[in-house]
Structure 1
């Protein structure tokens, strides 16, 4: 592989700072994590957005969450077609391998992936309609949510689509036989959350009312 390059100096310096302080002060704990393996109680599926910091929101340390990130925190329907399925593989490992007790889908405000889906569905992003657009084909998972958006301005409708990405993912999770079985056996609970980045607020999906309510 001829194209790999050394890390930027600022990342190297940050690593050495971490190793000399946080790691050194907690060396025994890190070694225990390495020796005992991981035993997270929860899996979180969140967006790749750099502003979404799951461990900070919940004050979690290493080893507490099994985290999978993708564009717009989406879960596709169960579809074992022989192709590569990173999100589905992560869900399978969390449920069957790690036996997590909780599976959380975390959406957020100002999601670029959701905005891309909104623009694509409204005819304003033809590049995402191309068959070779990985983003566009991934956002097809969310396309059904666009048809059900309420009336209103673009900002209101985009936020509604952000929350729809959480609900659609929860619905798709239940198409996985091993998820459905774990939920039925009360070995697993699934949760839908939406984070307003600017306000620092967190809303939870209520299946009875079909709405998100602030925690």
Structure 2
């Protein structure tokens, strides 16, 4: 592959610093993980946004969370159509092979994906509506969430609402997977929805009984 290049110097130096400090201090744990395999209790699905560091929210160590990140932490509905389904494949592996007990979907404030869906659905982002836009077709997953909040008059409140809809739509779609539905009904798996405010650090969780998010 002639286009691949060595890492930038500053990243290589940071790796060497990690190897000499954090790794060296926990080398026995990393060797244990390498030899015994992974046995995470939970899967975390969150946004690709570089400001969202979900493992850090729980002071998680290596091996604790099986993680998957994508644009706007979206989960598509169950569609076994022979396409390339990275998110669905990760969920299948976590639930059927790793047998995680908890599946956590985490949305966040200032989500560019949520903003993009809002713009697309209101006709302000024609580039996302183009058939060849990978991003636009991905954000189509969130359209049912937009339909629920489209009549909110205040734009800031509407954006906050669709950010939370990224979580609600994903939780709804999870239950369209037969192996998810069976695991939830059998009590082998619980689903959780979170939303984090990046600036304040406030974390909210979705409560079905209240049909909304409440602070933790």
Q: Which range, TM-score by smaller chain?
A: over 0.9
Quote how far apart the aligned CAs of 1:46 are. 0.2
- Normalised to the residue count of structure 2, the TM-score between the two structures is 0.98
Cross-structure match for 1:57: 57
Task: In structure 2, list runs of 5 or more residues that go unmatched.
Answer: none
Quote how far apart the aligned CAs of 1:208 are. 1.4
The separation in 2 between residues aligned to 1:123 and 1:153, in whole angstroms, is: 17
The separation in 1 between residues aligned to 2:108 and 2:153, in whole angstroms, is: 19
- Normalised to the residue count of structure 1, the TM-score between the two structures is 0.99
| Matched residue SS, 2:69 | strand
The separation in 1 between residues aligned to 2:159 and 2:40, in whole angstroms, is: 33
| Matched residue SS, 1:148 | helix
Deviation by residue 1:45-77 (Cα, 9 ceiling, x = unmatched) = 100000000111111000000000000000000
Quote how far apart the aligned CAs of 1:22 are. 1.0
Cross-structure match for 1:33: 33
Q: CA RMSD in A?
A: 0.7
Cross-structure match for 1:126: 126
Deviation by residue 1:140-163 (Cα, 9 ceiling, x = unmatched) = 000111111152321110110010
Aligned length: 215
| Matched residue SS, 2:204 | strand
The separation in 2 between residues aligned to 1:178 and 1:42, in whole angstroms, is: 16
Cross-structure match for 1:170: 171
Deviation by residue 1:66-102 (Cα, 9 ceiling, x = unmatched) = 0000000000000000010000000000000000000
Deviation by residue 1:183-205 (Cα, 9 ceiling, x = unmatched) = 01100000000000101011011
Quote how far apart the aligned CAs of 1:117 are. 0.3
| Matched residue SS, 2:40 | coil
| Matched residue SS, 2:67 | strand
Task: In structure 1, list runs of 5 or more residues that go unmatched.
Answer: none
Quote how far apart the aligned CAs of 1:24 are. 1.1
Cross-structure match for 2:88: 88
The separation in 1 between residues aligned to 2:143 and 2:172, in whole angstroms, is: 14
The separation in 1 between residues aligned to 2:120 and 2:88, in whole angstroms, is: 24
| Matched residue SS, 1:79 | coil
The separation in 2 between residues aligned to 1:203 and 1:152, in whole angstroms, is: 23
The separation in 1 between residues aligned to 2:57 and 2:167, in whole angstroms, is: 17
Cross-structure match for 2:108: 108
